[in-house]
Structure 1
């Protein structure tokens, strides 16, 4: 822990990422699968301590974003309502170990239509820190994909789509599990399915069952079925999210395997797309919040 002056933490539902920081420089990175979904409130501190051996005696600042601040997390960090800048004022969390000075960043809420986010707002903050003049839409694909309208450094509005969760459920727990590959891809099939779902979103439920029928009757390959399933769901999402991306520059924040299909689907509509790595944006957002908090001390 020599040279470390603060700890950055991204605590998600299924994962935990910890960075040992010297100012803005990363000294080490550690990970764990002890996400919020596996922990009770009194389990967070031991998990964190296990990743931080040899702590100094003086309290070490720890800044956390994500699901550790949820109602089921370490301690609830109340939501901030849009429109707002990405939050930088974190709540203090009492720790039993006096070597830790823990703070958790709040999430963001929207009253109508009702929506919430925790963690993604820090990715938005990171992107804006690197692109301070950006006005447009930020798409954060994942289990629950977010579309975020950003203007003048503020989050104006956002919408969440369960597209990733639907894909996981349909591909592993529905009748389609017999037809859809766990890996593999078909670019042409994906593009065709996106276009079909955008033009006929009401028919998606029927098109989904066709994946099973075509596998039985015509030997549709599992790779092609996987790409078509993804394309139908993303196409349906794009149809609903059109007020966000139409006529706007869009930044997609995510790992290549999930951000790539969104970029392809948007570029097919003539939308200018910028890709950025979600993990890097999270860390940049935590760094921005840490700098802001130091400036107010």
Structure 2
């Protein structure tokens, strides 16, 4: 089978990129394509053309989309569904003549929202029926999600990725954390802060001072900074993950850092491929949509 046999298109439409997959009815990927036509660079009336450009050689079939395409600044705002609830809503938001957008989730107290992660959660649960526990989704804004009986019970967002980028790019530590990596430095950062997270701000400047006075390598300082921030995050989210079954959805180094930091706290976590979870969630949404049409 080739892309010409596609019966629907899966789309992960984020802030910076659009990723699409030509799909068979059974959920097999027939082809894939990516562009930089993310939400952040598109006016509302530019979405249809961006989608058509990327899928010009594919059949004009229904599209199931997740991510920031459904935000207030996106193609069509897909209203949030309130937790506790299943990660996928039965009510997809139409956009254009063939696209259907998966709504995000909201939490009233403490106030929180997610958009895009609900699809990965749904995909993980589709691949792991009956799973209960806590799902961590690392990223610029990391999500910690409590799952019970197939529902998202509650969740918490932590801006660790944003903080790391801001500190390394816009503070004095930009002179001390240029590049490189040191696993031991990361582990030390986690250990230094997790039991006393209130000392985080003071620990940060010590990285600069150690570089000036003791020649602390940039790679070690950068890694320790990451460890300090993730350690503080683990301290803040301990009520979520302590004593729970934990899955970390994410590819590559960042997800691995969370797995390593949790392991150091005697909290083993399973790392899950993010693309596989996303596609499984989009497939689940397509099947539910198809059953209703």
Instruction: Point out the more displaced range, 148-157 or 83-92.
Output: 83-92
Task: Supply the distance in 2 between the matched residues of 1:94 and 1:130 (Cα, whole angstroms).
Answer: 31
Which residue matches 1:155?
152
Following TM superposition, by how much is the alpha carbon of 1:178 offset from its aligned partner in structure 2, in angstroms?
0.7
Which residue matches 2:245?
249
TM-score (norm 2): 0.96
Which residue matches 2:162?
165
Q: 2:290 aligns with which of 289, 294, 297?
A: 294
Which residue matches 1:234?
230
Task: Supply the distance in 2 between the matched residues of 1:126 and 1:181 (Cα, whole angstroms).
Answer: 37
Whether 1:44 and 2:40 are equivalent positions in the alignment is: no
Q: 1:8 aligns with which of 7, 10, 13?
A: 10
Q: 1:200 aligns with which of 191, 196, 202?
A: 196
Which residue matches 2:210?
214
Check the 8 A contact 2:134/2:244 in 1, yes or no: yes
Following TM superposition, by how much is the alpha carbon of 1:159 offset from its aligned partner in structure 2, in angstroms?
0.2
Task: Supply the distance in 2 between the matched residues of 1:3 and 1:171 (Cα, whole angstroms).
Answer: 47
Which residue matches 1:102?
99
Check the 8 A contact 1:88/1:292 in 2, yes or no: no
Following TM superposition, by how much is the alpha carbon of 1:290 offset from its aligned partner in structure 2, in angstroms?
0.7
Any runs of at least 4 consecutive aligned residues in structure 1 with deviations exceeding 2 A, and if so which? Answer: none
- Residues 140-169 of structure 1 deviation map (CA, whole Å, 9 limit, x = unaligned): 000000000000000000000000010011
Task: Supply the distance in 2 between the matched residues of 1:15 and 1:252 (Cα, whole angstroms).
Answer: 22
Following TM superposition, by how much is the alpha carbon of 1:83 offset from its aligned partner in structure 2, in angstroms?
0.2
Task: Supply the distance in 2 between the matched residues of 1:141 and 1:91 (Cα, whole angstroms).
Answer: 26
Instruction: Point out the more displaced range, 153-162 or 192-201.
Output: 192-201
Q: Cα RMSD between the aligned structures?
A: 1.1
In structure 1, runs of 5+ residues without a counterpart are 96-100
Q: How many residues are matched?
A: 289
Which residue matches 1:120?
117
TM-score (norm 1): 0.95
- Residues 113-148 of structure 1 deviation map (CA, whole Å, 9 limit, x = unaligned): 000000000000010000011100000000000000
